[in-house]
Structure formats: C-alpha cells, structure tokens
Structure 1
Amino acid sequence: MVRTPLTPEERERGERLGRLLREARQGRSMTEVAAGAGVSVETLRKIETGRAPTPAFFTVAALARELGLSMDELVVHCALQPA
C-alpha cells in the first residue's frame, strides 16, 4: 500500500505539533519525557523536528499526558489550517 504524500498544510500542522511539544518539555530532557510517555526517544525526536508529521493518536495522547497538555490544547494549536 502506497501512502499519499502529505500536503503542505499537513506538514505545517506536524511542525506546529513538534514546536508545542518542545515548548511543553520546559527543559526536561527528551529521554525523560519519552520514557514517561512510553515512546522511544527517536520517535519523540522525529515528532519534535517535524520528520514524523502524522504520529499515531496514542503516541500523541501519551506525550500530551506526560507533558500536562490537554487534547483540547493540541487540537486548538495544531488544527489543520487551509493555505
């Protein structure tokens, strides 16, 4: 199965998610946050840098919980915005 290429808007949404997670870490290490969320450091790194712009829902939910972010905050901050 071939995955459809992401639109520029979807890439931008992934970058906004990454920025939000980086800011929410507030100096905590990637290792600490990733371990607390039950994800790999490499997964967190890819999300934060925008290289994984469409992470799995449960990955995002676990990171949000670990960082004290509500899902509502994520939706508001990362909603798809038309070009």
Structure 2
Amino acid sequence: MVRLPLTPDEVERGQRLGALLRRARGNRSILQTALDAGVSPETLRKIETGRVATPAFPTIAAVADVLGLSLDAVWAEVTRPERGSEPVGSADTAAARLAS
C-alpha cells in the first residue's frame, strides 16, 4: 500500500490535535494515559508530537475518552482555522473550548 504525502492542512491539523492532547493530559504520564486508552505509549507520543498527523478514529476516541474530552471539542480544535485565530497554545482559548 502506497501512502500519499500529507497535505500542509493535514500536517497542521495533526499538530493542533497533538497540542490539544498534551494540554488535556496535563501532568498525567504518557505511559498511564496510553495504557488507560489501550494504545501504545509510542503511538500516543507520535500523535502528541504531530508525527502521526492522521491517527485512526478509534485511537483518538479512546484517548479523548480517557482525557475526558468530547469528540466535539477535539473536532472543533483540530478543524478550526489557524489564520486570524489565537495561537494553539493559548490557555484561555483551550479552556473556553473544553468548557463548552
């Protein structure tokens, strides 16, 4: 199977997803989070660092569940337009999105 190169938009979405998961994980270890979600720690590390920009839906659903994130919140963060928005790392922006 040949995998097509990722588009710049896919790479950007992967980076936003990784940043969201890192923020939501907080001080919780990658190991414990991954084990609780039923994924390998290396998979979670790759997602959080943006090395896996298009992870499988069940993987994201499991990690989001463990972190207490709704899939709606994850989708809103990952698909939001970057230009003209606050930076991904903005605590106020993330808190507002996760609170809704």
Normalising to structure 2: TM-score of the pair?
Answer: 0.79
1:45 aligns with 2:31: no
Give the superposition deviation at 1:81. Answer: 4.3
The corresponding residue for 2:55 is: 55
Flag the 1:80–1:4 CA change in 2: closer, same or farther, 3 A: farther
The corresponding residue for 1:77 is: 77
The number of residue pairs the alignment matches comes to: 83
| Letter in structure 1 aligned against 2:64 | A
Write out the 4+ residue segments of structure 1 that deviate beyond 2 Å after TM superposition.
80-83
Structure 1, unpaired ranges of 5+: none
Percentage of pairs with the same residue: 59
Give the superposition deviation at 1:82. Answer: 8.5
The corresponding residue for 2:97 is: none
Greater RCO between the two (CA within 8 Å, min separation 6)? 1
Supply the RMSD in Å over aligned alpha carbons. 1.5
Structure number, greater radius of gyration? 2
